[in-house]
């Protein structure tokens, strides 16, 4: 996993920008198609096509998950000014 952080390993260096710990927070949930899978529905905001709303939703979920699972990371990210 750390190899992905080496220069030139990824075709697009911005690909790691939303991965866990990049902004001091854990990642939010990941969804794919179909819109409903095993009774779990993809949130409407993710299907809306509104990239700004999707980014806000992902940031909120990342913060929510980090607060629940790793409150120490929230405090550290806030101290470093990394929270989104």
Number of structural domains, the chain? 1
pTM value is 0.69
- Which residue, 5, 23, 25, 3, is CA-closest to 72? 25
Q: Which domain holds residue 56?
A: 22-80
**Residue 5 forms part of a structural domain:** no
Q: Write the pLDDT tens digit of every residue in 17-39.
A: 655 555 788 888 988 889 999 99
Q: Would you place residue 63 in the very low, low, confident or very high pLDDT band (cuts 50, 70, 90)?
A: very high
Asked if pLDDT for residue 8 goes beyond 70, the answer is: yes
Looking up residue 26, the CATH number of its domain turns out to be 1.10.1270.20
Asked if pLDDT for residue 77 goes beyond 70, the answer is: yes
**Residue 36 forms part of a structural domain:** yes
**Residue 34 forms part of a structural domain:** yes
**Residue 49 forms part of a structural domain:** yes
35, two tokens: 């819109």
User: Mean pLDDT, to the nearest integer, of 3-20?
Assistant: 69
């Amino acid at each position: 996993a750390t190899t992905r952080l080496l220069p030139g390993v990824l075709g697009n260096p911005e690909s790691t920008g939303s991965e866990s710990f990049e902004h001091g927070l854990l990642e939010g949930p990941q969804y794919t198609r179909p819109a409903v899978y095993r009774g779990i529905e993809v949130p409407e905001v993710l299907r809306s096509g509104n990239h700004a709303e999707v980014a806000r939703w992902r940031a909120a979920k990342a913060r929510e998950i980090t607060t629940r699972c790793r409150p120490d990371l929230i405090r550290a990210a806030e101290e470093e000014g990394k929270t989104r």
